[in-house]
A and B are shown apart, each in its own frame.
Chain A
Amino acid sequence: MTRAIAGLLEAVLPPLVFFAIVLAAWQAATTLWEIPVYLVPGPQRVLDAAHEHSAELLSAMRLTGAGALGGFGLGLLAGTALGLVFSQSRMIERSIYPYAIFLQTVPIVAIAPVLIMWFGNGFGGVVAVSFILSLFPVITNATAGLTTVDVNLLELFQINNASRAQVLFKLRLPNALGHLVTGAKISCGLSVIGAIVGEMSAGFGTQSFGLGYLITAATGKLDTAYAFAAVICSTLLSLAIFATVSLIGATILTRLHIAPRSSTTNP
């Protein structure tokens, strides 16, 4: 028990100490060099701004979080589905996969306004941008997991006259789960970025505002402290979603007795 606590301390203490040092240096730098608040606000100012606007920030986090989760969920479904299709036909994979890469290289900030024209303003548009951003890591990881199965195992299945479906469900899918969890972890962070970018060009409506709105509105008024607070809130949101996804992923993998793995597999 004490050993567990010691281990926890060992893991948590160094980053916390580092965080404290950075905060202190930040505060000291802004005070010492008298950095004007409109350029870089000190941590105390950011904290004050967060406190003052806590109600708006919380509701914005909820809204942006909903948009991000929507995009992430759709990305996870569509990405897995595409991976399944790719794993079933080498031909389809070869013809479509390059476009999946293409999709990833498209500067999403630049095309967000176009997406909004297609999917409409408001929640739909935000989810669409978030979806496109979270799709790619899922596709690549799902495809990798479904196709890079152990050759020996595949032969074993074939010797026993396994059907296509059996290979898929008993060999490929279990093999892909670890990869999928990795993909999900990458894309859930991206989905928050997507939601915020989407919001900047889509907006949510008249009364409700997400973090993207708060960031642009605060920046427009040179209220850098408030903008920093909103940025930190979006980071916290990403972290919360990431932690949840990691936890769910780890639980699934341990339940199914699959060791979590990185994207490397047998040749």
Chain B
Amino acid sequence: MSQQVARMVMLVGLFALLFSAGCGKSNSAQPPAADARSHSPRGVAPDDESERKDPTLVAVTLQLNWFPEAEHGGYYAALAHGYYREAGLDVEIVPGGPETPVVQQVSRRAATFGIVNADNILFGRAQQAPIVALMAPLQISPRCLIVHKSSGIRDFDDLRDMTIAMSNSNAFSQYLRYKLDLPGVKIVPYAGNVAQFLIDKDYAQQGYVFSEPFVARKEGGDPKVLMLSELGFNPYTSLLCTHEDQLEDNPHLLQKMVAASIRGWKKYLESPDEANRLIHKANPEMDLDILEYGAETLKPLAVDSVAEQQGIGTMSRARWQKLADQLVESKQLKRKDVDVDGAFTTRFLRTANTANARKSSAKSN
């Protein structure tokens, strides 16, 4: 009898434990944008805890679409060099990973800002997600395929009778399938590393130009890079995005965020070391040498001929429209669902670039 009682007590205790654990989880899923940071253990703060609690700063979260890497460099630079703080923002960068639902998180305001690529925004708008892009740090997409040099493959038309590892859920992979014949090509999901590439000569895989080729070379491979942008598929990458209501409700916040982020990107392209250390801290898998290589490789992608004239982060309607057309063409988006005008705004870019110019000229004087 007493044994039974003891068993009952234990059971009840176990249930209570499970229940409280469940509650804890659901709490952390719901915090409003402003104080989401306190719930996320993985975010990285530039300074110690005491300084973070500055009540005069506006706390916002920035949800990344992948583990912290060089493509997020400018945002980390703005954090590392205190640009966000100077702008009155307490930014917490929340690392992402495979299948992180950034568009959903931003649309339901679980994160104030998010980092996504342009195709995600168009797909989101097509499903009524109220998300809008504010700036495009990478004009040229770093997306590439790597093949073996020894395979003799020169460009995309040479891809035949081989295996290509590409993510299913990515727009570029469906565009590639649509655009190329790929005779005898077997397409398999991307496993997230270059192991298979190194052992199989007839194997190609997706990558970001500053990451996978570097790793493959370091491991003794002979990667040749085929840039997706050269195939014409070139969505803006690492876009800063937010909920569209913020355009009306909080223009000053957006203005500060965009200006500080652009400052961060400029800094990252000049001297990335401090930001890279912060990235390495948030994602120890990324060694400093690969980050250094990444920052160097990013330069021409961030500052192409257009960005050179119009400033870092610039976006054009024509480019957004072209991407939308490509997604429609490759049957990933329906024409009636396309919403290019709602997808982005450049109004914070113009002021940001003039403000930053004023700041830097004031400094040099």
Contacts and interface: CB of A to CB of B under 8 A. Distances in A.
Residue among A117, A206, A216 having the largest count of chain B Cβ atoms under 10 Å: A206
B187 interface: yes
From B127, B128, B189, B196, residue with most partner A Cβ within 10 Å: B189
A38 interface: yes
A164 to B, nearest CB: 43
A220 B107 contact: no
A202 B130 CA distance: 34
B168 A37 contact: no
B185 interface: yes
A217 B168 contact: yes
Chain A contact patch, size range: 20 to 34
Contact of B123 (A116, A200, A221): A221
A39 B106 CA distance: 12
A205 B169 contact: no
B177 A222 contact: no
Nearest to B119: A221
Interface residues of B, number: 33
Contact of A216 (B123, B124, B169): B169
B186 A121 contact: yes
B169 A224 contact: no
A113 interface: yes
Given A36-B107, A38-B104, A217 B169 contact: yes
Interface in B283-340: 332-333
B168 A216 contact: yes
B129 A36 contact: yes
A36 B99 contact: no
B170 interface: yes
B168 A203 contact: yes
Contact of A39 (B104, B186, B188): B104
B168 A222 contact: no
Contacts, number: 79
Contacts of B187: 203, 205-206
A36 B131 CA distance: 12
B211 interface: no
Nearest to A212: B168
Interface in B168-213: 168-171, 174, 177, 182, 185-189, 191-192, 195-196
Contact of A121 (B108, B188, B195): B188
Given A220-B168, A221-B123, A222-B126, 13 more contacts: A36-B108, A36-B127, A38-B103, A38-B124, A113-B191, A121-B163, A202-B189, A203-B188, A219-B99, A219-B169, A220-B123, A222-B124, A224-B127
Interface of B: 99, 103-104, 107-108, 120, 123-124, 126-130, 163, 167-171, 174, 177, 182, 185-189, 191-192, 195-196, 332-333
Interface of A: 36-39, 113, 116-117, 121-122, 200-203, 205-206, 213, 216-217, 219-224
21 contacts: A36-B127, A36-B129, A38-B107, A39-B108, A117-B196, A122-B186, A200-B189, A201-B189, A203-B187, A203-B188, A203-B189, A205-B187, A220-B123, A220-B167, A221-B123, A221-B169, A222-B103, A222-B126, A222-B127, A222-B129, A223-B123
